[in-house]
Amino acid sequence: MTQVVELSSLLVSRPDYRQGRPCLRGTGITVHTVAAAYMAGLSAEDIARQNPGLDSSAIHAAIAYFLANRVKIEAELDADRVAGEELAALFPEGLTRDNLDRVQPFLR
């Protein structure tokens, strides 16, 4: 008999990890990371090929979650991009131990 896998068992989120964003279970890879690859034109199969250690069903679950929550995830990805641009402008030399404390306002 074939075992049925609940989609919710493939993704996990915790408020204290990865800003509470859902991740592929057993990894630190967020749905947002998979969504960004998908939005860049990669298929689930392409993403699986580039990440052979990942369960392809978890990749499909991440894409399904993204599609069901597209507006929210796209807004969060856009906010991440803006924050990254602001950090790059403030720290053209990159982050160092000396300026790391100035980054705190950007951490959510």
Average pLDDT, stretch 60-73? Answer: 96
C-beta of residue 67 within 8 angstroms of C-beta of residue 22: no
pTM: 0.81
What pLDDT shows up at residue 9?
A: 86
Q: Report the alpha-carbon angle 80-75-72, nearest 5.
A: 125
In a domain, 99, yes or no: yes
Instruction: Output the domain CATH number for residue 59.
Output: 1.10.10.10
- The Cβ-side half-sphere exposure at 102, using a 13 Å CA radius, reads 12
In a domain, 70, yes or no: yes
**pLDDT tens profile 20-41:** 899 999 898 999 999 999 999 9
How is residue 71 written in tokens? 């507006």
**pLDDT tens profile 35-64:** 999 999 999 999 999 998 888 999 999 999
Closest CA to 75 of 106, 32, 107: 32
**pLDDT tens profile 74-108:** 999 999 999 889 888 888 887 777 777 777 666 65
In a domain, 1, yes or no: no
Split into its structural domains, the chain has a count of 1
Domain span including residue 78: 7-106
In a domain, 2, yes or no: no
